[in-house]
């Protein structure tokens, strides 16, 4: 590696032996970073093909969608709920022979939009504003998986969809035989609105603006769960509700949620 110093950065170039068929790469690197670290980072990107030319068909319009076109198969479609299945093919795995995290996100986005379309008019354009993922376990190579999407809430300007991926051959509500994640979100929203109604006038419409969930443990099948909601703060235009899910017989905390509800119409300042 050859280094040429200037006042603020170092220009680095990887040798032909390291690059093989790759073209020359120049990068601006902090002088405080040890050269061996720079070498490792550059080598990593080169091994991943950062300098390799793309095939012409990969440059076509919407190639990203073509890549997933034949992956998803529709299982069933209901009002507010869509279920699809897919196989974990070699083209979509990571170095651990499991479903690649980026593929999981891409599938979640497509199923979520399809789910939202069951309740929204076609003249409404859907824009993905936030996508949160929790990787609980791996989907092995050649395994058949089911992606279930269900609408948690849908208003004039916002639709929230809960997604769950499960191994098809288990046949369980989820792979751990516990409470479905979408059900937790739906329950949290309803309890939050009910709690907010104790302090917000009836002439104010409540609009769910944000719902964050923490899955601390599992609520097993047939278990009785207590859901407690309390208003954290409430003002003219916003109410924040904290929610706890506990196993009734031992008061064990299994889930927490925090809901932000907007008051409509907004009060004028």
Phi, psi of 134, deg, nearest 5: -125, 120
Which residues have C-beta within 8 Å of that of residue 255, sequence separation ≥ 6?
A: 184, 188, 213, 214, 215, 216, 217, 219, 244, 245
Q: Tell me, what's the pLDDT at 84?
A: 92
Q: What is the pLDDT of residue 124?
A: 86
pLDDT attached to residue 183:
77
- pLDDT of the residue at 231: 94
pLDDT of residue 225: 94
**What span, in angstroms and rounded, lies between the C-alpha atoms of 202 and 198?**
9
pLDDT of residue 263 exceeding 60, the answer is yes
Nearest of 269, 192, 198, 207 to residue 238 by alpha carbon = 207
Place 7 in a pLDDT band, splitting at 50, 70 and 90.
very low
- The pLDDT, as a whole number, for residue 8 is 42
* Amino acid 95: pLDDT: 78
**Domain 70-180, CATH number (from 2.10.10.90, 3.10.129.10, 1.20.120.530, 3.20.20.140):** 3.10.129.10
Q: Where are the domains of the chain?
A: 70-180
What contacts 94, CB < 8 A, 6 or more positions away?
Answer: 100, 101
Residue range 115-169, pLDDT digits in tens: 999 999 888 888 888 888 877 777 888 889 999 999 988 888 889 898 888 888 8
Name beta bridge partners: 30: 9
DSSP 8-state code for residue 8: S
What is the per-residue pLDDT across 47-73, written as a single tens digit (0 to 9) for each? 767 777 777 776 666 666 666 777 889
> Is residue 261 packed enough to be buried (19+ CB in 10 Å), middle (13-18) or exposed (0-12)?
buried
Predicted TM-score (pTM) of the model is 0.53
* Three-class DSSP category at 14: coil
Structure tokens at 112: 């979520």
Q: Flag whether pLDDT at 11 surpasses 60.
A: no
Q: Identify which of 179, 86, 102 has the alpha carbon closest to the alpha carbon of residue 141.
A: 86
Asked if residues 189 and 211 have their Cβ atoms less than 8 Å apart, the reply is: yes
pLDDT in tens, 191-249: 998 999 999 888 888 888 888 888 888 888 889 999 999 999 999 899 999 999 999 99
**How many Cα atoms are found within 13 Å in the side-chain-facing hemisphere of 23?**
5
Greatest distance between any 2 Cα atoms in the chain: 72
Q: Residue 170's pLDDT band (boundaries 50, 70, 90)?
A: low
Handedness of CA 82, 85, 88, 89 (dihedral sign): negative
Q: Is 160 exposed, middle or buried (0-12, 13-18, 19+ CB in 10 A)?
A: buried
- pLDDT for 10 equals 42
Least confident of 5-19, 26-40, 194-208: 5-19
What pLDDT sits at residue 176?
57
Q: What is the mean pLDDT of residues 170-183?
A: 60
């Amino acid at each position: 590696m050859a280094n040429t110093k200037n006042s603020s950065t170092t220009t680095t170039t990887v040798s032909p032996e390291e690059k093989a068929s790759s073209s020359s790469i120049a990068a601006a690197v902090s002088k405080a970073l040890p050269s061996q670290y720079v070498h490792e980072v550059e080598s990593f990107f080169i091994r991943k093909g950062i300098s390799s030319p793309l095939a012409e068909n990969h440059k076509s319009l919407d190639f990203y969608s073509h890549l997933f076109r034949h992956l998803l198969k529709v299982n069933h479609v209901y009002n507010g709920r869509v279920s699809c299945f897919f196989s974990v093919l070699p083209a979509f795995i990571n170095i651990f022979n499991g479903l690649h995290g980026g593929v999981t996100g891409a599938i979640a986005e497509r199923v979520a939009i399809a789910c939202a379309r069951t309740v929204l008019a076609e003249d409404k354009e859907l824009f993905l504003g936030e996508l949160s993922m929790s990787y609980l376990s791996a989907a092995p190579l050649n395994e058949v998986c089911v992606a279930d999407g269900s609408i948690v809430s849908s208003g004039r300007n916002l639709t929230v969809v809960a997604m769950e991926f499960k191994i098809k051959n288990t046949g369980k509500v989820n792979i751990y035989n516990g409470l479905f994640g979408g059900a937790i979100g739906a329950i949290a929203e309803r309890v939050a609105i009910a709690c907010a109604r104790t302090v917000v006038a009836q002439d104010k419409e409540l609009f769910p603006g944000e719902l964050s969930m923490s899955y601390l443990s599992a609520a097993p099948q047939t278990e009785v769960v207590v859901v407690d909601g309390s208003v954290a703060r409430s003002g003219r235009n916003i109410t924040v509700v904290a929610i706890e899910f506990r196993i009734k017989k031992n008061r064990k905390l299994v889930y927490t949620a925090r809901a932000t509800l907007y008051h409509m119409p907004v009060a004028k300042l």
